[in-house]
Structures are given as C-alpha cells and as structure tokens.
Amino acid sequence: MRVGVLTGGGDCPGLNAVIRAVVRKGIEVHGWEFTGFRNGWQGPITGESKPLGLADVEDILTRGGTILRSSRTNPYQVDGGVEKIRTVLEDQGVDALIAIGGEDTLGVAKRLTDDGIGVVGVPKTIDNDLNATDYTFGFDTAVSIATEAIDRLHTTAESHHRALVIEVMGRHAGWIALHSGLAGGASVILMPERHFSVDQVVQWVERRFEKEYAPIIVVAEGALPEGGEEKLLTGEKDAFGHVRLGGIGNWLADEISARTGKESRAVVLGHVQRGGTPTAYDRVLATRFGLHAVDAVADGDFGVMVALKGTDIVRVKLSEATAELKTVPLERYEEAEVFFG
C-alpha cells in the first residue's frame, strides 16, 4: 500500500507533527510506503512529489511550517485538474491520500472522494473555524503568541498613556481574538461575528483611561464596524475566492485618536501567529490526528476527517466538516463583555 500525504492552504504550527505521526505509524505498524506531494493540491496535479521515509520525518515534531510546503491550489479551478490527479496517482502507484488542511483543502478532499479518489482529511487552521471538531491544531499556538503580544503591549501602553489596538488573524471567525483577548485581559474584543459600534468602542476606551489604565483593543482582521465594509489589503482573490483582509486595526486606531484626543497606535500581528514551533497542546493534538488518520486509511474509511470531540479523536464526514464554518456563538462573546471598558 502506498499513501500520499499533502498539506494545503495557509501553513500552521503542527503540520510536521501530523506528517511524522502518519509516516511513523504507517511504516512501523502497517509496512506502508509514503509519497509526500509538494505544495498542497498542486503536487498531485503536477506529480511533484518525493518519497517519505522514517529518516525524512526525524526531528520535525517541533518544527513550524511544513516540510511538504503548501499552496492554495484548487484542482477544480485547473483545466482537467481532477483527471490530472487521477493520472498522477495511478502513475505513482498511490492508493489513498491523507490531506491536511482547512475548509478549502478539505472541501476539495470531499469533492475528490465523491469523484472516486480515496481521501482522509486532517483538520488544521489557526483560525479554529472548521466545523465538526472542537479544536484544530495551530489554534493554541496562535492564541499563545497573541496573548504574549498583548501582555507586552499592556506595559508599553501604560507607560505612554496610549490606546493600543492589536489586529489578529480571523477572516470569518473571532476565536483567536476572543481567546487571546480573554487570556490577555483586553479592554475590548472585536470579531467578525458581531458588527461593532465605534461609539461604543470609544466609550469603553474612555472608561478605561478614566481608571488610569491604558486600553488594549483586540480586533480580528475580519471584524466590521456597523454599516461599514471589510478592510482589504488588495481586491485580488485566491483560487478559493478569498480576498486579502487587513487594515481594520490601523483604521480603528485612527478613529479612536480622532474621537478621544488620546494617542492610539495599531499593531498588526500577521503571520507571526502562524510561524515557529507548536505548543505542547498542538503537538499532541496534531500527533493524535495523524495516528487516527492512518487508522481510517487502514479501514478504507474515506471521505472522513479525524476530529476532536471532548478528549476523544473521532471520524466525521468531510461533508459535515465543510458544510459551514464554526463561528463564535454570540453567547460566548457576551461572556467576555463584562471585562470591556
């Protein structure tokens, strides 16, 4: 049996931990061989691949990024993409695929399974917005990095009597903003699921200053002011139709300065949240996902994604996992509101 492995979409700490677990268990327990496809779905389309053996996965548990590299290639947007994948898999003797990715990569995995190609999915995204799993790996690392940044911003904001806005990732879901904001004691948290009133933010900021304390505002990149529009870095769309968000932090900092007369600055955390070594939690979750993905392949159970439910790893249908995004329920946001202002 030969199994292909690929990583697609935005990278995320823990990808290498999954690859290591898959290859170790696949070889040591089942005696399988592995092909690592390069650059997400681009690999199975072009045939760019390399054999993956035990030596290739030595020392990668703690390494960030992905040894297989990644891309946002969508085979369904490439002329004859699916047929090319079929041919490459046949030519390279690959019997099944393990695809590690978020909603886009796994959406493709679902369609390929419907088209007769056996795929098992492993959920990754720092945004934690994949449905049907309690957590995705990478999220805990991103929250830890954002929390450390907030801790550091508190002390410098206080010294200068400034309001500091920190923009974190989260295109459609505010999980990173909510968790890092709660962990870091933010004065205001703003997320895509709840459009915010700038007047209300200004009130919270002023109340914070009255308490002789410098306000820290955590804003997800996809957060929107009431009646406003998403702030875009460019109008360009990727192969899955996503625009590049960015700019809400600087816009809000300017609004706060103009309306309160207090100095306000923005920090955009960006890809720092995705780089570097995973936390212990993410290493364990990624490893367990990898081990269970191998079990699914061994059972011939394709069209599924491994998922975390409580403390158990279970299998869910890829169709369920990709049907909709897991956004932050409003009652979870409201829990945090007591700390605002």
Which string of x and - marks every residue 6-25 that binds ligand F6P (by CB under 6 A)? ----x---------------
42 contributes a contact to ligand F6P by CB under 6 A: no
Residue with smaller CB distance to ligand F6P, 167 or 306: 167
Regarding 180 and contact with ligand F6P (CB under 6 A), the answer is no
Tell me the DSSP string of 209-241: HHTT---EEEEETT--BTT----EEEEEE-TTS
140 or 208: whose CB is closer to ligand F6P?
140
Of 127, 129, 140, 282, catalytic = 127
Handedness of CA 200, 204, 206, 210 (dihedral sign): positive
Instruction: Give me the half-sphere count of Cα atoms (radius 13 Å) on the Cβ side of residue 120.
Output: 26
Beta-ladder partners of 313: 308
Largest CA distance in the chain: 69
How remote is the C-alpha of 147 from its chain's centroid?
Answer: 16
**Token representation of residue 184:** 């870091």
Beta carbons within 10 angstroms of residue 72's beta carbon: 18
111 is a site residue for ligand F6P (CB under 6 A): no
| Spatial separation of the C-alpha atoms in residues 83 and 36, rounded to whole Å | 19
171 binds ligand F6P (CB under 6 A): yes
268 binds ligand F6P (CB under 6 A): no
Which tokens go with 229? Answer: 């529009």
CB 169 → ligand F6P: shortest distance, Å? 4
327 touches ligand F6P by CB under 6 A: no
Of the candidates 245, 252, 268, 328, which one interacts with ligand F6P according to CB under 6 A?
A: 245
Pick one of 13, 14, 121, 170: the residue that binds ligand F6P (CB under 6 A): 170
Per CB under 6 A, does 145 bind ligand F6P? no
Is 231 one of the binding residues for ligand F6P (CB under 6 A)? no
Question: Could you tell me the smallest distance in angstroms from the CB atom of residue 307 to ligand F6P?
Answer: 18
Among 7, 35, 110, 127, binds ligand F6P (CB under 6 A): 127
Which 65-104 residues touch ligand F6P, going by CB under 6 A?
Answer: 102
Beta bridge partners of 5: 36, 98
In the list 35, 105, 125, 287, the residue contacting ligand F6P (rule: CB under 6 A) is 125
User: Could you tell me whether strands 163-168 and 33-37 are parallel, antiparallel, or unpaired per DSSP bridges?
Assistant: unpaired
| Comparison of 214 and 328: residue with beta carbon closer to ligand F6P | 328
The answer to whether residue 131 forms part of the interface with ligand F6P (CB under 6 A) is no
Among the listed ranges 23-31, 124-132, 190-198, 307-315, the one in contact with ligand F6P (CB under 6 A) is 124-132
Q: Is 134 a catalytic residue?
A: no
Q: Kindly give the residue spans of alpha helices, DSSP state H, lying in the chain.
A: 15-30, 42-46, 81-91, 103-114, 139-160, 175-183, 198-210, 248-260, 280-298, 318-323, 330-336
Least distance to ligand F6P, CB of residue 127, Å? 5
Q: Are 188 and 340 in contact (CB under 8 A)?
A: yes
Q: Could you say whether residue 252 binds ligand F6P (CB under 6 A)?
A: no
Query: How far, in Å, CA of 279 to CA of 335, rounded?
Result: 26
Residues noted as catalytic: 127
Binding site for ligand F6P (CB under 6 A): 10, 102, 125-127, 169-171, 221, 245
